[in-house]
Structure 1
Amino acid sequence: MVILVTGGDGYIGWPTGLRIARRTDDRVLLVDNFARREWVEDVGSVSATPIADIDERLQAAREVHDVHNLSFVEGDLTDRAVIDELLAVHKPDTIVHTAAQPSAPYSQINGERANYTQHNNLQATRNLLWGLEEHDMTDTHFIETTTTGVYGAPEFPIPEGGATMENQGERDEVPFPAMAGSWYHLTKSHDAANMRLAHQQFDIPISDVRTAIVYGTEVEETREDDRLKTRFDFDYYFGTVTHRFCAQAVAGYPVTVYGKGEQRKPFVSLEDAVEGLAQLALTDPNDRPDNLTVYNQVARAISIVEIANTIADVGDEFDLDVAVEHFENPRDEDETHKMEIENDRYADLIDGQSVTFEEGVRDIFKTLVRYQETIEAHEDRFLPGVLEE
C-alpha cells in the first residue's frame, strides 16, 4: 500500500504525513514544490519557527520516531507530466491532497495573484482526478482539504455537506451553493464541484474535508526535535487571525479587533486537523465509504473578541502584557454574525478528541516566545504592504 500526501512540505501536510507514517508500515510519499516558502518570501515575511529542509526533516523522522517508510519527491502538480509519473511509478492507494495556495488575502492582492491562485489550485486537483481515471486507478481514496469558507456566512446552521432545497412543494438534497468570499475560497468551491463530478463520472471514492481556520504550532510528532517543526506564518497575508494575534502579543503590539468582533468563525486545532486526515488516510479499504463524503473539520465557532481576550488571558502566564483594542471596522461585514456549523461526521472520525482553544493558544506561546526576535524583525508584516506587480 502507498499513501501519497501532497503539500508535504506545508503547515498541515508535513505533520499529517509524519503522523500517517508513524502509524502504518505502508509507504508514505510526500510531494511538494516548495512554493509556500516562496510565497511567504514574496510578501516579505518568514515563518516564525525555523523550517528545516526536507532532507533534515526526513532524517529527524528516522532518528526520533524510527520512521523509515516516509520519502519525498519534488514536483509541481500543475504539470500533467509530474502527475503521470507519480501515479505510474508509485500507484498510490490513497491520496491526501493538502497542496494549495491557501491565502485569501494573497489571492486578493491583484489580478495576477488571483489568476495564479485559481490556476495553481484548480489545475492540481483536476490533474490528480483525471490522472486517476486515465491510469485506471479509480479505486484510490481521494481526500482533499477544502475549506469551510465555501459556505460563506449564512444565517442558518451550516450542514455537513449538502443542503435541502424546496420548490413548488418538492424537496431534494443538493450540493451546498458556492458562497465563497475570496478568489482563494472560490477555488475550493470549484474543487468541491469538480470532485463531485469526478465521483459521478469516474466513481472515485472521495472525502471532501472542509477544514476550518487551523491554529497551533505543534502536534505530538513535532515536539521532540526542532527539525520536525512545521511552519508558523504570522504576516497579514499568510498568518491566520489567531496566529497574527499571538505574534502581535509576543512582539508587544496590542491585539486589534475591528468593530465589535462578535462575529464567530469556525476553528480547529492543528492537532485535531492532522488527526482527522490521518484517520481517513488509514481507514481500511474494506471499511471506507465508496461514495463522496463531506466532513466539516471544525471543533467549534469562536468570536474574534473571544480569541483576543483568550490570548490576553493566556499571555499573562508568559509575562506578556497584552492589550486588546477595538478599532472602527473598515470591512463591510456583520460584526455579530453567530455562525453555527454541524460537525457530527468529523467528531466521530476523531472519536471526540478536541484540543481546547485555550490549550492551543498556550501551546502557541510556548513556541513563539523562543522566536520573539524573528517576529519583531518582521513586525511590519502584521499589516498589508505594497507589493510589486
Structure 2
Amino acid sequence: MSIIVTGGDGYLGWPAALRIADRTDDRVVLVDNFGRREWVEEIGSVSAVPIAYPDERIEAAEEVLGLTNLSFVEGDLTEKSFVDQLLEVHEPDTIVHTAAQPSAPYSQINGERANYTQHNNMQATRNLLWGLEEHDMTDTHFVETTTTGVYGAPEFPIPEGGATMENQGERDEVPFPAMAGSWYHLTKSHDAANMRLAHSQFDIPISDVRTAITYGTEVEETRADPRLKTRFDFDYYFGVVAHRFAAQAVSGYPVTIYGKGEQRKPFISLEDAVEGLARVALVDPDERPDDLTVYNQVTRAISIVEVGETIAEVADDYDLDVAVEHFENPRDEDETHKMEIENDRYLDLIDGQDQTFAEGVADIFATLTEHAGRIESHEDRFLPGVLEPDE
C-alpha cells in the first residue's frame, strides 16, 4: 500500500511526509511540480532557509532518520493524464493533499494571478477526487489541508464543521457559508464544497483539515540534518505574519503592524500541524468516520499586536532591539475583530499537544539568526509593491 502526499516539496507537505513515513511501513510518495519555488522567485524573494531538492532530501532521510519508504514524483496535478497515471501506478490507500498556491496577496495582484490560483488549486482537487471515482479507488482516504480562511471573520463562534440554520421555526445543519476574503481563500471554500459533493456522490472518506496560520521552522525530524529543513518564506506575498515579523526583527527592521492590529487570527505551530496531519493520515481504516469530517487545525487565536509584541520580547534573548510600529493597512479588514473558533475535535486528535507561541517564535529566531544575510539581501520584499497590479 502507499500514501501520496501532494505538495511534498512544500513548507507543510515535506515535514508531514517525514513524520508519516516514520510511522508506517507503507510507501510514502511525494508529489510536486516545484510551483512554490517558482512563485517566490517570481516575486523576487527566496526561502530564508536554504532547502535541498527532493532527491537530496530523501537521501538524507534515509541516511539520518533511517527512512527507506520515501519516493518522489514530479508532476502537475492540474493535468488529468498525470493524475490518472499517478493513481494507477501507486494505488494509494490515503492521499494527503497539501498542494496549492497558498498566498492570498499573490492571488490579489491581478486577474491573471487570480485566475491562475483558482484554476491551479481547484483543478488539482477535482482531478484527484474524480480520479479516485474513475479508477475504482473510492475507499481511499482523501485528506486535504484547506484553511480557516474559508470562515472569514464572522461575529459569532466558528463551529468545527457545519453550522445550524433556523428559518421559520425549522432548524437544520448546513455547510458553513463561504465567507472567504481573497481569491485564494475562496479556492478552499470551493474545494470544501467539492469534497462534500464527492463524499455524497462517490462515498469517498474525506477529512477536511482547515489549517490555521502556521508558524515555525522546525519539527523533530527536520532538526536532524540541514538537508531535511523545510522552507521559510518571509516576503509580503508568501510570508505569513509571524514569519514576516520575525524576519524583520532579524534584519533590523521595525515590526510592521497594519492598522490597529487588534484583530485576532487563528494560529498553529508547524509541529502541531504536522502531528495532526500524520494522525489523520494514519488512522485505522476501521476507525475512519463514515461522514465527511472537518477539523479546525488551530490551537489558539492571537491578535496581530500580540504577535508583534511577543516577537519583540523573544528577540531580546537574541540581542535584537526590535521596535513595533503601525502602518496604514493596505487590506480591507476589521482591525478589531475578536475571532472565536471551536477546535475540540482537533485537540482530541493530537491529545492536547500544544507548542506555545513564544516557544515557536524562539525556534524561528534560532533558525533565522543563522541566515540573516539571506533575509537582509531581500529586505525590500517585506512590504507590498514589488509587483504592480497591472504586471
> Normalised by the size of structure 2, how large is the TM-score?
0.98
Contact map agreement 2:109 2:387 (CA 8 A) in 1 = no
Aligned-partner residue type, residue 235 of structure 1 = D
Return the alpha-carbon distance in structure 1 between the equivalents of residues 159 and 268 of structure 2: 17
Q: Tell me if 1:224 matches 2:224.
A: yes
- Matching of residues 113-262 of structure 1 within 5 Å: 113-262=113-262
> What stretches of structure 2 of length at least 5 have no aligned partner?
none
Aligned-partner residue type, residue 188 of structure 2 = K
State the Cα distance separating 1:336 from its structure 2 match: 1.3
State the Cα distance separating 1:83 from its structure 2 match: 0.6
The farther-off stretch of 354-363 and 333-342 is: 333-342
Q: Could you give the per-residue CA deviations for residues 306-351 of structure 1, whole angstroms, max 9, x where no partner exists? A: 0000000000000000001123434432221100000011001101
Return the alpha-carbon distance in structure 1 between the equivalents of residues 292 and 179 of structure 2: 20
Residue in structure 2 matched with residue 281 of structure 1 by the alignment? 281
The farther-off stretch of 327-336 and 352-361 is: 327-336
Return the alpha-carbon distance in structure 2 between the equivalents of residues 33 and 327 of structure 1: 36
- Matching of residues 227-376 of structure 1 within 5 Å: 227-376=227-376
State the Cα distance separating 1:47 from its structure 2 match: 0.2
Return the alpha-carbon distance in structure 2 between the equivalents of residues 93 and 185 of structure 1: 28
Q: Could you give the per-residue CA deviations for residues 193-239 of structure 1, whole angstroms, max 9, x where no partner exists? A: 00000000000000000000000000000001000000000000000
State the Cα distance separating 1:260 from its structure 2 match: 2.0
Contact map agreement 2:7 2:99 (CA 8 A) in 1 = yes
Aligned-partner residue type, residue 177 of structure 1 = P
Return the alpha-carbon distance in structure 2 between the equivalents of residues 383 and 260 of structure 1: 17
Aligned-partner residue type, residue 279 of structure 2 = Q
Return the alpha-carbon distance in structure 1 between the equivalents of residues 195 and 387 of structure 2: 36
Aligned positions, number: 389
Residue in structure 2 matched with residue 74 of structure 1 by the alignment? 74
> Normalised by the size of structure 1, how large is the TM-score?
0.99
Return the alpha-carbon distance in structure 1 between the equivalents of residues 54 and 191 of structure 2: 28
Give secondary structure in 1 for the equivalent of 2:287: coil
Residue in structure 2 matched with residue 50 of structure 1 by the alignment? 50
Return the alpha-carbon distance in structure 1 between the equivalents of residues 113 and 48 of structure 2: 24
Percent sequence identity is 82
Give secondary structure in 1 for the equivalent of 2:100: coil
Residue in structure 2 matched with residue 15 of structure 1 by the alignment? 15
CA-based RMSD of the aligned residues comes to: 0.9
Return the alpha-carbon distance in structure 1 between the equivalents of residues 264 and 383 of structure 2: 22
Structure 1 residue runs of 4 or more that deviate by more than 4 Å after TM superposition: none
Return the alpha-carbon distance in structure 1 between the equivalents of residues 327 and 3 of structure 2: 47
The farther-off stretch of 48-57 and 254-263 is: 254-263
Return the alpha-carbon distance in structure 2 between the equivalents of residues 362 and 26 of structure 1: 34
Return the alpha-carbon distance in structure 2 between the equivalents of residues 13 and 370 of structure 1: 23
Return the alpha-carbon distance in structure 1 between the equivalents of residues 94 and 204 of structure 2: 11
Aligned-partner residue type, residue 386 of structure 1 = L
Q: 1:82 to 1:330 in 2, by over 3 A?
A: closer
Contact map agreement 1:149 1:180 (CA 8 A) in 2 = yes
Contact map agreement 1:312 1:322 (CA 8 A) in 2 = yes
Return the alpha-carbon distance in structure 1 between the equivalents of residues 265 and 341 of structure 2: 10
Q: Could you give the per-residue CA deviations for residues 133-168 of structure 1, whole angstroms, max 9, x where no partner exists? A: 000000000000000000000000000010000000
Q: Tell me if 1:386 matches 2:382.
A: no
- Matching of residues 26-45 of structure 1 within 5 Å: 26-45=26-45
The farther-off stretch of 47-56 and 332-341 is: 332-341
Return the alpha-carbon distance in structure 2 between the equivalents of residues 40 and 318 of structure 1: 28
Residue in structure 2 matched with residue 2 of structure 1 by the alignment? 2
